[in-house]
Amino acid sequence: MRAPAWYVSLFVILAALPLAAQEAQKKRVQINVINVCNPKEAEVQEIQGAVGRIPAKPRFVADFEIARGRSSVDTGVARWVRVRREFGADSPFTTAQYTMSVNMDDGAITETLVLRLRDPKEVVQVALQSTVTAGDPAAVLASDTPSNHISVERYGKAPLAIKRCPQADQSGFALLFQSASSLMAGYRAALGVRSFVPGDLARVGVAQKKKAPAAPAPGKSQKPQ
């Protein structure tokens, strides 16, 4: 007696399942581990090259975009302000995007400057970051916090990154971090973030520290209110 065609097809499918499972187990998962404290010399040179392409004095077009909001993050809730400006058509970069984010749980403030390339054949974007564990947004902006993290996103390759690590000997990276910090300071000024970021953060619930009243001049007393 000949088995029905559907029965034969089902048998073939069931017989192939163990083979498919074995093939899936053979597939390897590749994990890229980035040593951000002491990257390889070739990686550092590539990061330096990407940072070196960033114009110290950006020329933006008139268009701009400002946004503010609240986001849920792994460590709690963050409130942020973001501004984006476009470079002129003759620039190798298309946009510069600055974000200040305040973690409402631990008070950490993070500034991130992301610059995207116009022709991302090798590098897609470069990001400079400055982080402080606590502080007032206006005071942080006024102090020009040094950059402590640099990352480079590459086209079709694993990203590159370097970070300030107090426990590691990073004396060889001093000039790189100095360049990144200088660029961060320049773009804070070019984007005018000191004029609106603290106020916009206040609008989304980030309290600002009130300035202490000026002390009276010697020999003069303050008038009662």
- In a domain, residue 212? The reply is no
pLDDT of residue 225: 44
- In a domain, residue 75? The reply is yes
pLDDT of residue 74: 82
Mean pLDDT computed over 140-164? 96
Distances (CA, A) of 183 to 23, 64, 164: 50, 20, 17
- In a domain, residue 148? The reply is yes
Is the pTM higher than 0.85? The answer reads no
Residue 58: pLDDT above 70? yes
Residue 41: pLDDT above 80? yes
- In a domain, residue 16? The reply is no
* CB-based contacts of 90-99 (< 8 A; 24+ apart in sequence): 91/55, 91/58, 91/59, 91/118, 92/53, 92/117, 92/118, 92/119, 93/53, 93/54, 93/55, 93/58, 93/117, 93/118, 94/118, 96/58, 96/60, 96/187, 96/191, 98/187, 98/188, 98/191, 98/193
- In a domain, residue 47? The reply is yes
Domain with 131, as residue range(s), is 41-201
pLDDT band at 177 (very low <50, low <70, confident <90, very high): very high
Mean pLDDT computed over 73-100? 94
For helices 193-203 and 174-191, what crossing angle results, to 10°?
80
What is the per-residue DSSP string for 11-32?
A: HHHHHHHHHHHHHHHHPPPP-P
- In a domain, residue 159? The reply is yes
Residue 47: pLDDT above 60? yes
Quote the Cα angle for 159-165-170, to 5°: 90
| Structural domains counted in the chain | 1
Residue 31: pLDDT above 90? no
Tokens of 164: 């300030």
pLDDT band at 33 (very low <50, low <70, confident <90, very high): low
- In a domain, residue 211? The reply is no
- In a domain, residue 4? The reply is no
pLDDT band at 14 (very low <50, low <70, confident <90, very high): low
Mean pLDDT computed over 182-187? 98
**Sheet of 60-73: strands edge to edge?**
60-73, 76-87, 93-103, 109-117, 123-132, 149-154, 160-163
